[in-house]
């Protein structure tokens, strides 16, 4: 399986990431991608840029040295109803948004509360992808999550950083397998993201690709096999 677009990368704009847009583009190309998305953190977490960062993404070239750039954001879910920080007027300008649970923005609650938070975020037409839902520090009813992803046409992310050694998320491998099996059962597509915080990691899906192959996950449910397929699937909700 060849991944052609990395849907989740960070730049210097998030202070805990260390590379520029150009550096991400260069490694995207070197690692065989046709496209990548810039998805920096949004307020209210401390390390996020000002909302002006998201309002001004349109100044970025669409193509950098033959690699397509998509303009995105990694939104924080800020309450158990699935509220997110950026408002509609800014979200409208982006190509897509990932909504993620970060404990700096919202303390993980009970399984029912966390699941309700994800379901609420998926009802937002601008949320195309749920980021790293396998993080065991945020207990979730995965069957409900996958069924809601199907009914709202939201992609669930398979996050390569979550499978890297010494990572701080919990039970990621077991949870990811459970999510993938449910996605296969219910025909829900997944989005591949490295969550790279340093340019050489852009486009490196070593751990997640190995897992997809190990469990024989069907290729047709992977959104990132081409830039066109990815764009079609992230556009499904707004239509
Ligand atoms: Zn995240
Ligand atoms: Zn991220």
Q: What is the CATH number of the domain that holds 50?
A: 3.20.20.140
Cα distances (Å, whole numbers) of residue 137 to 149, 160, 162: 21, 17, 12
CA–centroid distance, 8 to ligand 1, in Å, is 9
Our measurement of the distance from residue 216's CA atom to the centroid of its chain's CA atoms, rounded to an integer in Å, reads 22
> Is residue 200, in this structure, part of any structural domain at all?
yes
181 domain residue, yes or no: yes
170: confidence class by pLDDT, cuts 50, 70, 90: confident
In a domain? residue 239 = no
Q: Are 176 and 225 in contact (CB under 8 A)?
A: no
pLDDT tens across 34-86, in order? 999 999 999 999 899 999 999 999 999 999 999 999 999 999 999 999 999 89
Give residue 167's pLDDT band: very low, low, confident or very high (50, 70, 90).
Answer: low
Residues in the chain: 239
C-alpha 40 to ligand 2 mean position (Å): 7
Q: How confident is the model over 99-108, as pLDDT tens digits? A: 999 999 999 9
Residue 170 counted as domain residue: yes
Residue 229 lies inside a defined structural domain of this protein: yes
Count of domains observed in the chain: 1
Q: Considering the chain, what percentage of its residues have pLDDT values greater than 90?
A: 92
102 occurs within a structural domain = yes
Q: How far is the CA of 141 from the centre of ligand 1 (A)?
A: 19
pTM: 0.97
Q: Residues whose CB is under 5 A from ligand 2 (ion)? A: 74, 195
**Residue 209: per-residue pLDDT:** 98
Span from the CA of 38 to the centroid of ligand 2 (angstroms): 10
Whether residue 37 is contained in a domain is answered as yes
The answer as to whether 35 is a domain residue is yes
Residue span of the structural domain in which 42 resides: 5-234
Does residue 93 have a pLDDT over 90?
yes
């Amino acid at each position: 399986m060849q991944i052609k677009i990395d849907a989740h990368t960070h730049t210097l704009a998030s202070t805990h990431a260390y590379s520029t847009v150009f550096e991400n583009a260069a490694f995207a190309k070197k690692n065989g991608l046709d496209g990548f998305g810039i998805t920096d953190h949004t307020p209210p977490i401390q390390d996020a840029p000002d909302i002006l960062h998201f309002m001004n993404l349109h100044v970025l070239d669409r193509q950098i040295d033959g690699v397509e750039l998509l303009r995105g954001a990694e939104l924080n879910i800020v309450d158990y109803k699935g509220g997110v920080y950026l408002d509609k007027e800014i979200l409208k300008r982006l190509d897509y948004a990932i909504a993620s649970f970060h404990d700096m923005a919202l303390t993980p609650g009970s399984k029912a509360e966390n699941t309700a938070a994800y379901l609420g975020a998926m009802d937002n037409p601008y949320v195309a992808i749920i980021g790293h839902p396998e993080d065991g520090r945020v207990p979730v009813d995965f069957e409900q999550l996958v069924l809601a992803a199907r009914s709202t046409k939201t992609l669930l992310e398979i996050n390569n950083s979550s499978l890297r050694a010494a990572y701080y998320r919990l039970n990621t491998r077991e949870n990811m397998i459970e999510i993938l099996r449910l996605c296969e059962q219910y025909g829900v597509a997944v989005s591949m993201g490295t969550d790279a915080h340093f340019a050489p990691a852009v486009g490196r899906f070593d751990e997640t690709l190995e897992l997809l192959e190990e469990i024989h996950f069907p290729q047709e449910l992977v959104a990132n096999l081409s830039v066109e397929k990815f764009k079609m699937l992230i556009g499904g909700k707004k239509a």
